[in-house]
Amino acid sequence: MKTAYPFPHERLLAPIEETRLEWKGENTPFQARHDDVYFALDSGFAETEAIFLQGNDLPERFERWNERTKPFVVGELGFGTGLNFLLTAEEFLKRNSCSRLYFISTEKYPIHRDDHREFFKKGDFIERFSLAEPLLAQLPGAVPGFHLLSFLDSRVQLLLLMGDANDTLDQLEAKVDAWYLDGFTPAKNPDLWSDGIFRSIARLSHGSTTASSYTAAGWVRRALTTAGFSVEKHPGFGKKRESIRARYQGSVEPLYQRTRPWFRMQAEAPRGQFSISGAGIAGMELASRLIRGGAQVEIHDPAFEFAASKNPQALVMPQFARAYTPLQHLTAQAFEKWNRYRRAESSIPGFAPTGVIRLPEGADDLADLKRAMEWLPIDRASWRWLESNETSTRTEGFFGGESLWLENAFTLRFPEYLAGLRESMGPRLRWLEKPSERPDILAEGSRIQEHPFLSGNLSPMRGQIAHVPFSGFKSPHAVTRDGYLIADPTRECLLIGGTYERGERELKLDPSYRGELWKKWPEFASQLPESDDPSVEGWMGFRAISRDHVPICGALPDPQFFEANYSELWRGRRETEYPDARSDHPTYVALGLGSKGALFSKLLADTLGGLLLGEPLSIEWSQWLKMNPVRFWVREHSTRKG
* Beta strands across the sheet bearing 458-469: 383-386, 403-406, 356-358, 478-480, 484-488, 493-497, 458-469, 537-546
The pLDDT of residue 2 is 38
Which candidate, 378, 387, 388, 364, places its Cα nearest to that of 408?
378
Q: Helices 559-566 & 630-637, crossing angle to 10 degrees?
A: 30
Q: Helices 281-292 & 597-612, crossing angle to 10 degrees?
A: 40
The pLDDT of residue 3 is 34
Which candidate, 451, 460, 461, 449, places its Cα nearest to that of 630?
451
Measure the CA–CA gap between 281 and 587, rounded to whole angstroms: 19
Query: What secondary structure does DSSP assign to 602-638, as a single string?
Result: HHHHHHHHHHHTTPPPSS-HHHHHHH-THHHHHHHHT
Measure the CA–CA gap between 469 and 327, rounded to whole angstroms: 36
* Four-point Cα dihedral 529, 534, 537, 539, nearest 10: 110
Please tell me the total number of residues recorded for the chain in this structure: 642
Which candidate, 341, 323, 333, 318, places its Cα nearest to that of 409?
318
Angle 594-600-603 (CA atoms, 0-180°, nearest 5)? 155
Measure the CA–CA gap between 402 and 392, rounded to whole angstroms: 9
The pLDDT of residue 453 is 85
**All domains in the chain, ordered by first residue:** 43-248 (3.40.50.150), 261-308+415-455+548-637 (3.50.50.60), 313-411 (no CATH), 461-475+482-537 (no CATH)
The DSSP letter of residue 353 is -
Q: Which residues does the chain have with pLDDT short of 50?
A: 1-6, 642
**Cα→Cα distances 587→264, 557, 565, Å:** 16, 8, 20
3 state SS of 456: coil
Measure the CA–CA gap between 587 and 623, rounded to whole angstroms: 20
Residues in contact with 567: Cβ distance below 8 Å, sequence separation at least 6, in sequence order: 637
The count of other CB atoms within 10 Å of the CB of residue 313 is 21
Measure the CA–CA gap between 86 and 80, rounded to whole angstroms: 12
CB 628 within 8 A of CB 554: yes
The pLDDT of residue 5 is 37
Which candidate, 355, 388, 593, places its Cα nearest to that of 480?
355
Which candidate, 44, 52, 41, places its Cα nearest to that of 89?
52
Measure the CA–CA gap between 580 and 565, rounded to whole angstroms: 9
Over its C-alpha atoms, the chain yields an Rg (Å, rounded) of: 26
Q: Which tens digits make up the pLDDT trace of 291-301?
A: 999 999 999 98
Measure the CA–CA gap between 227 and 419, rounded to whole angstroms: 51
The end-to-end CA distance of the chain, in Å, is 18
CB 28 within 8 A of CB 70: no
Name the amino acid, one letter, at 449.
Q
Q: Which residues pair with 546 in a beta bridge?
A: 458
Q: Which residues pair with 494 in a beta bridge?
A: 468, 487
The pLDDT of residue 532 is 86
Q: Are strands 205-213 and 242-248 parallel, antiparallel or unpaired?
A: antiparallel
